[in-house]
């Protein structure tokens, strides 16, 4: 990473400008070009410096539903179960935790009923009991990691 990459990452943490051409506005701020900034972003994604770049939607405000869930997966089945979850369009992402409940994932569905049906499907598919941890309250915390 060079200075432009760092300035781009720092600026993106504060969000994109809400204008018709945000990359041109960022380019003016960072003394670059929109094309160069997009190429830098693509390269950081390709190199694994960034794992994701995109919007975060409040699915509940859009009329949908989501939940956090966990499975206690035997180590010898971990990769198989991860692939099973990855194949489900409702699974937003899943990850390993160092805990008895070692596989955590987020479900995003159109309704609460669809959440219940998908959780049941996952239990049937994997043969494992599931821990459902629906959101009780929302907290908005701004985080900034200067690079």
- The pLDDT score that the predictor gives to residue 55 is 78
Q: Are residues 92 and 43 in the same domain?
A: no
- CATH at residue 117: 3.30.70.3460
Sign of the Cα torsion 65, 69, 88, 121 reads negative
143 domain residue, yes or no: no
Could you read off the pLDDT of 117-134 as tens digits, one per residue?
Answer: 999 999 999 999 999 999
Residue 53 domain flag: no
106: containing domain = 65-133
Confidence of residue 115 (pLDDT cuts 50, 70, 90): very high
Q: 31 and 83: one domain?
A: no
Q: What CA–CA distance (Å, rounded) separates 60 from 20? A: 27
- What's the whole-model pTM score? 0.65
Question: Do 16 and 71 belong together in one domain?
Answer: no
Same domain, 77 and 34: no
Evaluate whether residue 123 is within a structural domain: yes
Are 43 and 71 found together in one domain? no
Overall average pLDDT of the 45-57 stretch: 85
The predicted pLDDT at position 58 comes to: 73
Q: Are residues 72 and 27 in the same domain?
A: no
142 part of a folded domain: no
What pLDDT sits at residue 59? 74
Q: How many domains, in total, are found in the chain?
A: 2
């Amino acid at each position: 990473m060079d200075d432009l990459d760092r300035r781009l990452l720092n600026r993106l943490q504060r969000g994109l400008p809400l204008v018709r051409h945000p990359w041109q506005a960022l380019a003016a701020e960072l003394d670059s070009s929109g094309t160069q900034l997009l190429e830098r972003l693509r390269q950081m994604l390709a190199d694994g410096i960034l794992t994701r770049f995109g919007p975060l939607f409040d699915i509940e405000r859009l009329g949908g539903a989501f939940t956090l869930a966990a499975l206690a997966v035997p180590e010898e089945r971990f990769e198989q179960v991860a692939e099973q979850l990855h194949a489900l369009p409702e699974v937003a992402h899943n990850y390993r935790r160092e805990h008895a409940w070692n596989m955590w994932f987020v479900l995003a569905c159109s309704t609460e009923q669809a959440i219940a049906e998908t959780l049941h499907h996952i239990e049937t598919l994997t043969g494992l009991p599931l821990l459902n941890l629906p959101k009780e309250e929302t907290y908005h915390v701004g985080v900034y990691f200067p690079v």
